[in-house]
Amino acid sequence: MRFGVKSCEDAKVAIVQKVSQSYRVASQQAQQVAGNAGNWLRQQLPDDLGKCYSERLALDDDLAIVRSRYCPTHNLIEETANPHDRQMLVITFGMQGDSGYKGADGSAVPFRAGYTTATSFQVSQGDRCYEAGKTVSQLRLLIGESLLSKYIGAERARQLLGNGSLRQLAFQKTSAAASSHANALTHYLNQGVTSTLDMHIHTLSLLSEQLNTLAPADNPQDLKFSAADIEKLDRVRDIMIEQMDQPLTLPYLCAAVGLNEFKLKAGMHYRFNSSPHRMLQEIRMRKAYTLLESGCQVAQAAYQVGYKFPNNFSAAFTRFFGKTPKSVFGRRR
């Protein structure tokens, strides 16, 4: 079912499609409305879909604030593609309601009231999903590489931003301090204030708190690990043991225990003198050796420790032990 939406002054027509009881719309089809001060920009979906808009304010060449508020009349899927012209760190503070992003590559990013979600990307194609009749309000910081390099150095900035594809770096409860700064920024925006020193202070305070978590000091010895952190690191090891047959990715492990990527890597070195990849490899290889000794065939052992292709398993096993799986197979029979 397709239907037209009334044309605006520039004669653009937004087309929406109802798919599986949801309405699908491309974000490019949103109407763009300049603010009265000329330094912020509103993108607004057609009125037929409910009150759905986002406002962007550029504070610097590499620093912007985006406030969004969606209350769709129908379940809404908003298509997005390549939203930025450069690699960006995006920090989202959930102010009200829940929503989610589903990438065309199978990735998924949650957004929830009271939680902070950090991602980095330039190229990302997927869908933003909103539930009918539910208000979702979010505040985002968009930070580019040059500003990140200024504050944390070029190398750490590159590590944080990655290769441009979508990476979820954190999903955690918003701290009391961050909530205070985010609420202050929202108040200024509601009042139409866009260029005060206070806005910059609140924005940079939010950024500083997040960078202390996302990109800690280069020297792992400078990091502090609480008892709760140690428990999370132990849980990472347990997950590797329990789910070694699954494709355990670093983002999955971070989300499963509530640690960001930088602290997880540094913590694994601190706690186990190893890296996540090396530890998972060792757990898989030692389990495979036991399976082979007990009479398990090579292909079966490979599948049980997470390898889809026996040839890849055999090559990894040989590199790890210096002998082939077949030389171990059935040794205890």
Residues 232-288: pLDDT tens digits?
999 999 999 999 998 888 888 888 888 888 888 888 988 888 899 999 999 999 999
Intrachain domains 2-215 and 278-327 with the same fold: no
The answer to whether residues 160 and 89 touch, using CB atoms and an 8 Å cutoff, is: yes
> CA of 77: how far to CAs of 18, 203, 261, in Å?
9, 29, 29
Tell how strand 167-173 and strand 115-121 pair up.
antiparallel
Which fold does the domain 2-215 belong to in CATH? Jelly Rolls (2.60.120)
Alpha-carbon span 298 to 313, nearest angstrom = 9
Q: 332 φ, ψ to 5°?
A: -90, 0
The answer to whether residues 208 and 216 touch, using CB atoms and an 8 Å cutoff, is: no
Domain extents in the chain: 2-215, 227-274, 278-327
CATH numeric code, 278-327: 1.10.10.60
Q: 81 φ, ψ to 5°?
A: -155, 125
**DSSP H helices in the chain:** 145-152, 154-161, 176-190, 197-214, 227-242, 250-257, 261-272, 276-293, 298-304, 310-321
How many Å separate Cα 216 from the centre of its chain? 18
Note the pTM of the prediction, 2 decimals.
0.61
Residue 154, C-beta contacts closer than 8 angstroms, at least 6 positions apart: none
pLDDT by residue, tens only, the chain of 333 residues: 233 333 333 322 333 344 346 788 876 666 776 654 446 788 888 888 899 999 888 888 899 999 999 999 989 999 887 666 778 999 999 999 999 998 887 778 899 999 999 998 877 788 999 999 999 999 999 999 998 888 888 888 888 888 778 888 888 899 998 999 999 998 888 887 777 788 888 898 898 888 888 876 545 555 678 888 899 999 999 999 999 998 888 888 888 888 888 888 888 988 888 899 999 999 999 999 999 998 999 999 999 999 999 999 999 999 998 999 999 876 554
State which amino acid sits at residue 163.
Answer: N
